[in-house]
């Protein structure tokens, strides 16, 4: 369906703009359920607002940062000069326009779109049934699954007992539901003998239905193809694949139920559209956490009535993982004007009370920590992206005072990402190239285990589009027909068993059958605020032959390996301070020119003032034609100073613009400075596993194991023969 387009509104600035933005933030976060409840009436009337999808112009990274501070429902669909945003009330639009943002309307009425999609789904399923056809998906499905469908389909797969094992996660959801997955591999019910594991998950976010569909279809594909497709058969003989199609079972159940309840009836040639049944949870994002640290009676989540695009109660599971938890791109419990997420607990990206505070993320942590997971993919929608660690810009200063830097395996992660995106046409980027995120699944799994980890953002423009598109997402369309995400997943599975990227452990001696070998390590995982006790522990059982070949992740975690970063001199080699003011309130600006004579490692611009006013900073570079190209800026909350950095600043004339956002008689100091830098490398440290051998529950010996990617080590395990 072609997105609706409108003319972008003109930039708006008002004397009370920052106050209006703050009001909009508070109301949109806390009072949106009332707005959506009113949508139970007639759609399209002048007095009713319906959720819209907007393409917001963000020409610079600074603009993306300013946008993230408005507390709006940002999607993962973004490019170098835009971010798509779901607005849930007129006050969300006030916050955007008061913030000086322009936008295009991609979907004018998301409730109407939901109803249209439901009608399209019904028509597609009916047409296929009438023709006696199945879809091109491995399952042949023609409609979205319900939670009950997923559980039933996993039961059906598990009938192939030598190939599939259905399992229950150890912790139920907050509403008391069991979370299921399937493990696939030849001789799957026998004890592990050293094969690596690929983990594929869906529906961390409730509204992202295709993320679960593709995970389930891949599981179905593997089971159907084993013994028939040589490539898949060989891979399942060398690896195990764990699929958890629905991680957020409570949220998905509500989203799927409410989303299907939207009924479209059009009369007067489409002039009136009536929505029957509240769609209050159709675009739910988070889980069903109602009170931090406390469970609530089963079924309580339904009583929350609405979760408009993620606002309201709940924890964003993809901000709750331990790696870098509590940093940029994740909201805390209380509003924090100094952070990049200021809405507090109702924010769609609320990170939870602590790392791994939620039963769903605890389940995934234990799943990954208890195996040698050499590949992890977490499916999401939408954006047509493959994202890799780390989730924050490498120049971001970590709590240890040193830039975060790139992942130590950046080149390898990027190369594999390209191989996968060559199959589905997605962009191969870091998450921070959209906006910073912390506490994500792959940031923890990669940095804690060393296994490669990615997020797939599936589909171009909707959280759960017409089901017919899901077929194309899996099988590929156009130039990618016959490839798609199916082929991308198979390439990921090939990486799972590729020992050039993992270590291999063997023993110099034959060991008695049934000897249990356990590889473990305890450590502390750093968050943005502190650290917490963490660890990994996996086991194999020596087979009848007495020989084993155990594929394992490196013993040294990526997060403690040496990292390279740019350190800037304490003193600038050129600086200039401009004293300005007072400026004219309301859209008042003052421009100051600063020349960069040659490429500078860093241009740093600081804007300070004495009174509790609100000024913004915009930085432009003059092009050869004399036009101004925005290259940076800063737009913090009121009374917060502004600062912007431009790395590798090109030579030329820069215009430093002070914007009077909402002040009466401000004066200010504006300092521009150029710095040289040197490349530095942290020392890092080396970590070892502890390998324990036991038989009949009795520990026979322990030894430390140091292993890196691509290494094969034959261990002296003579003590294990006793």
Residues classed as catalytic: 457
Spatial separation of the C-alpha atoms in residues 462 and 659, rounded to whole Å: 36
DSSP labels, 524-575: EEE-SS-EEEEEEEEEEE--TTS---EEE--SS-GGGS--EEEEE-SS-SEE
* Cβ partners under 8 Å of residue 523, min gap 6: 448, 534, 535, 557, 560, 687
Length, in residues, of the chain = 722
Spatial separation of the C-alpha atoms in residues 348 and 542, rounded to whole Å: 47
Contact 542, 515 (CB under 8 A): yes
Half-sphere exposure of 681 (CA within 13 A, CB side): 6
DSSP class of 68: H
Write down the residue that tokens 């939408």 correspond to.
Answer: 382
228, with CB counted inside 10 A (0-12, 13-18, 19+), is exposed
Contact 9, 101 (CB under 8 A): no
Task: Identify which of 346, 272, 267 has the alpha carbon closest to the alpha carbon of residue 308.
Answer: 346
Signed CA dihedral, 112, 114, 117, 121: sign only: negative
Token pair recorded at residue 210: 């295709």
Say how far residue 214 (Cα) sits from the centre of its chain: 17
Write down the residue that tokens 């917490």 correspond to.
Answer: 532
Element housing 532 (H / E): strand 531-541
Helical H segments across 281-409, by residue range: 359-369
Token pair recorded at residue 148: 């009950």
Write down the residue that tokens 């994202």 correspond to.
Answer: 387
Sheet-wide strand order for 589-596:
589-596, 652-660, 615-622, 628-634
């Amino acid at each position: 369906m072609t997105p609706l387009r409108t003319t972008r509104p003109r930039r708006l600035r008002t004397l009370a703009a920052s106050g209006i933005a703050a009001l909009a933030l508070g109301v949109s976060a806390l009072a949106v359920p009332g707005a959506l409840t009113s949508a139970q009436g007639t759609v399209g009337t002048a007095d009713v607002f319906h959720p819209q999808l907007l393409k917001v112009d963000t020409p610079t990274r600074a603009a993306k940062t300013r946008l993230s501070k408005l507390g709006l429902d940002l999607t993962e669909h973004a490019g170098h000069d835009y971010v798509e945003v779901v607005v849930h009330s007129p006050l969300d639009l006030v916050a955007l326009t008061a913030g000086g943002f322009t936008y295009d309307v991609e979907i004018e009425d998301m409730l109407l779109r939901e109803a249209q999609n439901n009608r399209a789904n019904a028509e597609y399923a009916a047409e296929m049934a009438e023709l006696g056809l199945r879809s091109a998906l491995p399952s042949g499905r023609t409609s979205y699954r319900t939670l009950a469908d997923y559980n039933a389909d996993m039961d059906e797969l598990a009938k192939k007992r030598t190939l599939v094992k259905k399992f229950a996660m150890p912790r139920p959801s907050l509403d008391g539901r069991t979370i299921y997955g399937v493990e696939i591999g030849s001789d799957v019910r026998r004890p592990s003998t050293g094969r690596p594991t690929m983990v594929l998950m869906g529906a961390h976010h409730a509204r992202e239905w295709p993320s679960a569909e593709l995970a389930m279809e891949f599981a179905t594909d593997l089971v159907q193809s084993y013994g028939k497709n040589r490539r898949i058969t060989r891979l399942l003989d060398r690896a195990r694949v764990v699929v958890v199609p629905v991680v957020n079972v409570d949220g998905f159940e509500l989203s799927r139920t409410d989303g299907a309840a939207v009924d479209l009836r059009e009369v007067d040639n489409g002039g009136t559209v009536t929505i029957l049944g509240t769609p209050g949870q159709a675009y739910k994002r988070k889980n069903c956490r109602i009170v931090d640290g406390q469970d609530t009676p089963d079924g309580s989540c339904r009583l929350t009535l609405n979760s408009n695009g993620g606002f309201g109660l709940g924890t964003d599971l993809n901000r709750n993982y331990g790696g870098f938890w509590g940093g940029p791109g994740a909201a805390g419990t209380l509003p924090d004007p100094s952070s990049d997420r200021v809405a507090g607990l109702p924010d769609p990206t609320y990170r939870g009370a602590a790392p791994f505070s939620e039963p769903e993320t605890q389940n995934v942590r234990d799943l990954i920590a208890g195996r040698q997971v050499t590949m992890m993919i977490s499916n999401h929608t939408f954006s047509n992206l493959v994202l890799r660690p780390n989730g924050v810009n490498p120049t971001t200063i970590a709590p240890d005072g040193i830039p975060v830097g790139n992942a130590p395996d950046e080149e390898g992660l990027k190369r594999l990402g390209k191989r996968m995106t060559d199959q589905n046409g997605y962009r191969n980027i870091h998450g921070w190239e959209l906006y910073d995120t912390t506490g994500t699944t792959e940031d923890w799994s990669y940095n804690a285990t060393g296994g490669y980890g990615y997020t797939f953002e599936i589909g171009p423009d909707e959280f759960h589009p017409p089901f017919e598109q899901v077929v194309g997402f899996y099988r590929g369309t156009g130039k990618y027909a016959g490839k798609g995400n199916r082929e991308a997943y198979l390439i990921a599975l090939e990486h799972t068993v590729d020992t050039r990227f993992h270590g291999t452990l063997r023993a110099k001696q034959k060991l008695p059958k049934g000897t249990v070998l356990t590889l473990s390590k305890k450590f502390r995982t750093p968050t943005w605020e502190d650290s917490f006790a963490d660890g990994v522990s996996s086991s194999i059982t020596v087979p009848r032959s007495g020989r084993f070949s155990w594929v394992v992740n490196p013993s040294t975690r990526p997060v403690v390996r040496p990292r390279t970063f740019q350190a800037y001199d304490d003193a600038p080699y050129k600086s200039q301070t401009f004293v300005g003011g007072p400026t004219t309130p309301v859209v008042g600006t003052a421009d100051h020119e600063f020349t960069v004579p040659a490429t500078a490692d860093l241009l740093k611009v600081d804007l300070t003032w004495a009174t509790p006013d609100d000024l913004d900073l915009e930085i432009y570079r003059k092009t050869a034609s004399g036009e101004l190209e925005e290259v940076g800026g800063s737009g913090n909350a009121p009374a917060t100073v502004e600062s912007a950095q431009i790395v590798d600043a090109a030579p030329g004339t820069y215009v430093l613009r002070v914007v009077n956002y909402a002040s009466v008689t401000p004066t200010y100091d504006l300092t521009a400075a150029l710095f040289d830098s040197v490349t530095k490398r942290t020392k890092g440290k080396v970590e070892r596993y502890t390998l324990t051998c036991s038989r009949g529950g009795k520990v026979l010996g322990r030894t430390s194991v140091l292993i890196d990617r691509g290494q094969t080590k034959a261990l002296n395990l003579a003590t294990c023969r006793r």
